[in-house]
Structure 1
Amino acid sequence: MAVPSSPDDNNHLHKELQPFYETCQPGSLYKFYIGIADEAEEGVWVNINSQKQIVYDNFRASHPRGGRIHNCGHIFPGGDWSDTSCATELCGTCHVDRSEFLYLRGLCFPTEQKMYFRLGGYIEGRPLFRGYFDLIILWEDISLRWLLKSIENNVTMAWFSPHERHHYPIGRHTWTTGDLVCGFHSGTDIALSLSSCPHDMFTCKSGFCLDQRYRCNFRYECLDGSDEDDCGVVVIDSSYRRHLPPRGPQDTTLLLTPTLTLTRIAGIDDISMAVDLEFIVSPTWRDDRLSFNHLHPNTNTLILEEEVKQIWTPKYQLVNLEGGQYELLDETMVVTTSNLPSLPDFNAAKRDFVYPGASNNLSIIHQYTARFTCAFDLYVYPFDVQVCSIDLRLPWTYNDIVEFSRTGGVGSYTGQRDLSLYTVKNVRLNSESGPDQLSLKFELHRRGGLVLLSTFVPSVLLLLVSWATLFVKQEALNVRAIMSLTTLLVLYTLFSNLSSSMPNTAAIKLIDIWFFLIILLLFFNIMVHIFVEFLVHRCSQSTEGAPETIKVSPFGRVFVQRETSTARVERIVSTYRTYIFPPTFLISTVTLGVMMFLI
């Protein structure tokens, strides 16, 4: 707000306001506010811009009138001041720091000096904008429009009709050519801007100057919201061909720098040997045929969908899909850098920075969900480690034109590491198969605790139950046989359930060897129970008489005792359950464990 600080300032302000007295509040003596108020303390008038008490005033005699309502200052048509209510609708008097130039942009001036304009008086109550050479901009009251004219030949080069009579040509507006101008025929609409904004600042439609970092940041910074208009990122030349891939530096093969991110392992199907995955594929490249606008430092700049359809993007195939089916969840394209910005030609009305495509990275982000095959190796189950992968391949049409970069690629996993049956480890990117192929490999380490509790522990307990039958009296053959057979049946049921939860393979697994060992020991226990008495009886008949045992008492008496069949059976069973069965189980278990460890 304007605040005169001396009689000269007040006279100058009064003179500048003369053309507008009939425009502001016609028929009223109250025309213009000035930037003073005594709202904080009655009678103490302060500059509302600096909040400092004024040192000069030009109040009319018997004014200010004072009171709790009249707290704002205004200037009469004669130049003296008074107070009035701050709610009164008056025009404002503004003090504008004088800039060196106004710039007229949007034409084809051969030199920058041609676009310089300045205020040069008033015509028909409106300011006259005078160019430093032969151009002027003035108001034509008859046609209600602003004219851009050449003084040299008195030709109207262009004209602008404001929506409201009191609007000015400051800012960015659409002008209509009145003659052949810069290759535009008469009647052509062109965009021109007239403002004091320097070359490196954005000009709002209103003429307000805005720092470039606020341009297209999804927030209105210009009062008219024009900073969020025309926010396209990609600048495409007319010679651009979307179906042709760009060339690499110095006309070499284009290298795609891949980023593969495994975000979630949704399921692992041991039977079908497949894994359900959610993942992101994001190749990065540069296209020197493009230019960019509105890039922001330290953040990715989103490219709109309609722009993506106009430029080349890399194609690739997901190789190891089960059934060849996948679902694309999301597709986003961004510019990930903001290198080497430059200003457009000084004539350009659009003052957005231009970023060369040869120096800035493009990246397209595809988010998928799909089911992949995985060759499970279950030889050392349940201590197995499965190596699965997401395999990509470039189409054959890219041979010697587009390749995967062998350096700089990134592979990662962002999901939960510990799954219900597996732990995810060693996620890595593998490009050793060729320049047109790429794999994201990851290892699934089976969590053996559950399998140990559900398989090994029950099988060992069943084996102990079968071994315990060797301590039952020989007369109770039915008890011994039924218990042994029951343990064998339960163990076989356990083995069948485990086998049904694993894929059918021709290869023998260590878990199969373990169950075979346990079943074999149970089988031998049953055989001992059934045939030991029969074998002892046959052996007794084939020898002459029963074996004799000679015992000597402490008193010197000698006894000759013959071993009965029952005692002989018990001795054989005792020897088997003590010296044959436990060592056989321990040696077999240790051997199997060493095999698992070595593999």
Structure 2
Amino acid sequence: MLHCCSNKWEMEVSIGFELRYWTSICVAIDLDIVSSEVVQDGDVIVGRHSEKRPGELMIRGGGQLFIGQEQDNLGGGFNELQSFRGSLADLRIYTKKLATGKTKRYTSCQSFSVSQEPLLEFRNISTTFEVGEVEIEDFNGPSLCSKKKTFDFVFPEPRLFNEAEMLCRALGGRMKVPVNRDDNRELLQLSAPHTNSCANGHVDTLWLGVRGNITDESFYDTFTNRKITYQNFEKNGGKPIEEPETCVTIKGGQDIVESARGIWVSKKCDLERCVACHFLKLPFVRIRGLCGKTEFDKHYFINNDNNTINFIGAFYSKIMAHPPMRNDSKTGDFGYWMISKIGRPEINAKLYKKSPTHYPTGENRWVVENDVCGKSEVTLRMTSCKEQEFSCDDGKCIPLPERCNMEANCLDGSDEIDCSFLVFSEGYDEKKPPPRQNQMSPVNVSIHTAMLSVRAFDLTGFNFVVEIEVRISWHDARLKFHHLNDADFLNVIYLDDKESQMPWMPTVEFLGDAFTSSDVTDRRSSLLVHRVTMPLPDNDERLLEDEIFEGKDNPLVLLKKLTVKTSCQFDLITFPFDTQTCRLGVVLSGVTKDYIALVPDGKGVSYLGNRKLLEYFLTEEKMIRHDEGNFSGQVIELMFQNLSTFYVTSTYIPTFIIVVIGYLVFFFPVEDFNERVMVALTALLVEAAFFTQMSSSIPQTAYLKLVDIWFVYCIISLFLVVVTVVFINWCKVRRDSPLYSFQKSAPGCLLGVGKYTTRSEARLTSRRTALAARLNTLCRVVCPILTALFFVFYLTMAALIDIPKLPIDINAMQFT
């Protein structure tokens, strides 16, 4: 924010800085025409300016210029936390606004000459300015325009190749691999100040990030695993590559001839050399484990000061290496690292080195003095990992979602260590349910039942067996969860872990119709956490970058796969055209409904199996609320429709055909009594056998079912056919008429009377035959009419019969 002219004019502009890189900025203001512009490194930055109060814009004299400190009032109101920390070069102030072209060329290092004489500049800062608590040094102008965007640091302690690789990785870089001759020469110059400490009697001084592959006799970059394109071996290309490992060093000792400097040498990896780490940008590290009000910085960048590696804090701390108290390495004193606050040396933390190559990377125990956190010892973790990354113990950074995903992504497997999801609040009691957030509303426990299949539907036993998967979910605000995955199956809490504390879990009972209990077989149970929300913001007071989720937003989910055998009060009056309703009750036990309420998750129930059973078809399933006294519950209702087609084809049609066969005897000649009566009796006996067979395969009930009524009709109709056939035959051949008796008693020798008797008998026989024929014809007509009337009655009864229900009021049921 730029202010001018007694705050009558101001300008707000956003300028970005990148640490350890020079940036050139020009601010130009023309008060006459009220125009302004900011140019940074050749680019014009658009700002937002305004005139706060009208009036003449004028810069008045008599003020004071302070560089690197904000003035809260004229010449005072300073704050050490508002101090400029960095390097400032070539400050100039002009009395006139320079042209945009000039400022762009100047800030982009295209031209350093300006024809106009400045009002103020850094020609002799020691005499022109009053200098305090700053360092002044001559600086080469062209170096201000360096565009180099990489950083190389030499760590001047000999170490094994694997240790060197781990150190570079822990600091966010990689081992240096020169890519051309100039790069190789620059590395040699960078390591020159450390020749004595790194050579240690050898001509080669530094490890390069290169390994040999014995399979194809080639050298590979250890970071990218790609073949190197540039190499500077003296002869034979660094070969042969020998087992078990071949690494590469660079010659840089003082005892070798100039022409041999920079030559690469194949060496075994179990030797000790120094290492140069390569960074694509200024390496930053973070300190985790400090309290929120600590006096120390939590972010540091690596610095090379007088050929010594140290860490400079973003604000007011630094981490420096200190030599041993004694110069005797046999005592185990290798010196220490110390975090100190600039200007307050009494506030510090020390880490005693475990070896000469020990850097404060990773997890270490520090001794603290005078920090506001109040602890004398604290475990801190230095990591170069960024936001949404997890720092492995070996220094590697992996994406945070790969933490605890049941796959080792860190080279040392540290990402799969301590993967417990649960974090209990202090005083957590697993026997008590979660507290109510609203004292007037109970805690909801959601339930969803997936019906996998109906294994058995036993009409004779009045029960059914179902395979179900129950999903019960609830929120517990007393819990927190670590590193949850989007895939729920990775967030499993093992119920068989007897040594670990378990969260509170609801207890459910499954009940059947008519106050009966159910036989429940638990096939599989698992407890997991369903991730719903994003994790809480990262808190660097914790050592690890674990994602933490609130229990009040991310539910626990209990999955149970069960086999349930329960009773069902079947009503078979309309069998086989019946519809059955079976109920399965689910009740929360142990906690009253004032505290815990069982509610359906969505619809509450779904069916995943085949709806067509052997004899029935599942038409509908639903969940309705039901409370068992003071306990909350739900009831699952299943509606089954009888697959009556089977009975129509296997029972009704065959039995009807037999009835038709019995009816067809009326179309036999009336004189063929034996055939007529035998067919009718055979049909009656077959019908009776059908009835006996069917009765043994369906439930026995004290009341008549529709199928029983059908059989009764069929048997009675065939019985009537037999009776009718016999009656017709009796009418045809009966001997009890007076005429037949007189004819038998008359003397047969009387010719006249005999003739009369014979003629009379013929007439009577003709009359009896005609009567039998008329009765037979009547039966042909009446039987189909009676059958049709029965069909109408039967179908109407099957469709409209009011089935008497068992006296079960679902809202008043008391399950036990």
TM-score range, shorter chain: 0.7 to 0.9
Match of 2:363 in 1: 172
Matched residue SS, 2:278: coil
1:415–1:138 CA distance, 2 compared to 1 (3 A): farther
Match of 2:298 in 1: 115
Match of 1:103 in 2: 286
More deviation, 513-522/564-573: 564-573
Alignment of 1:132-281 (within 5 A): 133=317, 136=320, 142-143=331-332, 147=336, 149=338, 152=345, 159=352, 161=354, 168-172=359-363, 175=365, 191-198=379-386, 200-251=388-439, 252-281=441-470
Matched residue SS, 2:558: strand
Match of 2:176 in 1: 2
Separation in structure 1 between the aligned mates of residue 766 and residue 797 of structure 2, nearest angstrom: 45
Q: Kindly state the Cα deviation for residue 576 of structure 1 after the two structures are TM-superposed.
A: 4.2
Matched residue SS, 1:257: strand
Separation in structure 1 between the aligned mates of residue 369 and residue 206 of structure 2, nearest angstrom: 40
Alignment of 1:105-504 (within 5 A): 105-108=288-291, 110-111=293-294, 113-117=296-300, 119=302, 133=317, 136=320, 142-143=331-332, 147=336, 149=338, 152=345, 159=352, 161=354, 168-172=359-363, 175=365, 191-198=379-386, 200-251=388-439, 252-297=441-486, 299=488, 301-305=491-495, 306=497, 310-320=502-512, 324-395=518-589, 397-405=591-599, 408-431=602-625, 436-474=632-670, 476-504=672-700
More deviation, 451-460/137-146: 137-146
Native 8 Å contact 1:382 1:446 kept in 2: yes
Separation in structure 2 between the aligned mates of residue 399 and residue 48 of structure 1, nearest angstrom: 61
Match of 2:788 in 1: 586
Separation in structure 1 between the aligned mates of residue 561 and residue 211 of structure 2, nearest angstrom: 61
Q: Given residue 189 of structure 2, which amino acid in structure 1 is its aligned partner?
A: N
Native 8 Å contact 1:248 1:255 kept in 2: no
Give per-residue Cα distances to partners, 1:575-599, cap 9 Å, x unaligned: 2441121221122123212322335
| Residue 702 of structure 2, aligned match among 488, 506, 509 | 506
Give per-residue Cα distances to partners, 1:6-31, cap 9 Å, x unaligned: 54443114445754444xxxx65455
Match of 2:250 in 1: 75
1:465–1:37 CA distance, 2 compared to 1 (3 A): closer
Q: Kindly state the Cα deviation for residue 334 of structure 1 after the two structures are TM-superposed.
A: 2.0
1:409–1:400 CA distance, 2 compared to 1 (3 A): farther
Give per-residue Cα distances to partners, 1:474-531, cap 9 Å, x unaligned: 5554444343333223222222222222222233211111111101101101212333
Matched residue SS, 1:110: coil
The gaps in structure 2 that reach 5 residues or longer are 1-174, 242-246, 255-260, 743-761, 802-816
Native 8 Å contact 1:70 1:83 kept in 2: no
Q: Kindly state the Cα deviation for residue 404 of structure 1 after the two structures are TM-superposed.
A: 2.0
Separation in structure 1 between the aligned mates of residue 713 and residue 428 of structure 2, nearest angstrom: 72
Matched residue SS, 2:612: coil
More deviation, 459-468/319-328: 319-328
Native 8 Å contact 2:473 2:555 kept in 1: yes
Q: Kindly state the Cα deviation for residue 329 of structure 1 after the two structures are TM-superposed.
A: 0.9
Native 8 Å contact 1:147 1:156 kept in 2: no
Separation in structure 1 between the aligned mates of residue 590 and residue 221 of structure 2, nearest angstrom: 78
Alignment of 1:5-84 (within 5 A): 5-6=182-183, 7-15=185-193, 19-22=197-200, 29-30=203-204, 32-34=206-208, 64-66=234-236, 69=239, 74-78=249-253, 80-84=261-265
Identity %: 23
Q: Given residue 317 of structure 2, which amino acid in structure 1 is its aligned partner?
A: F
Native 8 Å contact 2:368 2:375 kept in 1: no
1:11–1:455 CA distance, 2 compared to 1 (3 A): same
Q: Kindly state the Cα deviation for residue 346 of structure 1 after the two structures are TM-superposed.
A: 2.2
Q: Given residue 263 of structure 2, which amino acid in structure 1 is its aligned partner?
A: S
Separation in structure 1 between the aligned mates of residue 677 and residue 383 of structure 2, nearest angstrom: 106
Q: Given residue 104 of structure 1, which amino acid in structure 2 is its aligned partner?
A: I
Native 8 Å contact 1:112 1:346 kept in 2: no
Separation in structure 2 between the aligned mates of residue 212 and residue 259 of structure 1, nearest angstrom: 32
1:410–1:206 CA distance, 2 compared to 1 (3 A): same
Separation in structure 2 between the aligned mates of residue 563 and residue 129 of structure 1, nearest angstrom: 137
Native 8 Å contact 1:146 1:169 kept in 2: no
Native 8 Å contact 1:172 1:206 kept in 2: no
Separation in structure 1 between the aligned mates of residue 335 and residue 777 of structure 2, nearest angstrom: 120
Native 8 Å contact 1:148 1:157 kept in 2: yes
Q: Given residue 565 of structure 2, which amino acid in structure 1 is its aligned partner?
A: R
Matched residue SS, 1:515: helix
The gaps in structure 1 that reach 5 residues or longer are 547-559
- The structure that has the greater radius of gyration is 2
Separation in structure 2 between the aligned mates of residue 593 and residue 53 of structure 1, nearest angstrom: 92
More deviation, 332-341/509-518: 332-341
1:47–1:467 CA distance, 2 compared to 1 (3 A): closer
Q: Kindly state the Cα deviation for residue 197 of structure 1 after the two structures are TM-superposed.
A: 2.3
More deviation, 223-232/385-394: 385-394
Q: Given residue 319 of structure 1, which amino acid in structure 2 is its aligned partner?
A: L
1:36–1:218 CA distance, 2 compared to 1 (3 A): closer
Kindly indicate whether structure 1 or structure 2 has the higher relative contact order, using CA contacts under 8 Å at least 6 residues apart.
1
1:100–1:159 CA distance, 2 compared to 1 (3 A): same
Native 8 Å contact 2:625 2:634 kept in 1: yes
Separation in structure 1 between the aligned mates of residue 584 and residue 423 of structure 2, nearest angstrom: 35
Q: Given residue 531 of structure 2, which amino acid in structure 1 is its aligned partner?
A: T
More deviation, 70-79/244-253: 70-79
Match of 2:100 in 1: none
Q: Kindly state the Cα deviation for residue 155 of structure 1 after the two structures are TM-superposed.
A: 8.6
More deviation, 139-148/432-441: 139-148
1:48–1:390 CA distance, 2 compared to 1 (3 A): closer
Name the Cα RMSD after superposition: 4.2
Give per-residue Cα distances to partners, 1:261-301, cap 9 Å, x unaligned: 10111111110121111101212221111111111236463
Say how many residue pairs are matched: 568
Matched residue SS, 1:339: coil
Instruction: Please say if 1:519 is aligned against 2:715.
Output: yes
1:276–1:21 CA distance, 2 compared to 1 (3 A): farther
1:418–1:203 CA distance, 2 compared to 1 (3 A): same
TM-score, structure 1 normalization: 0.81
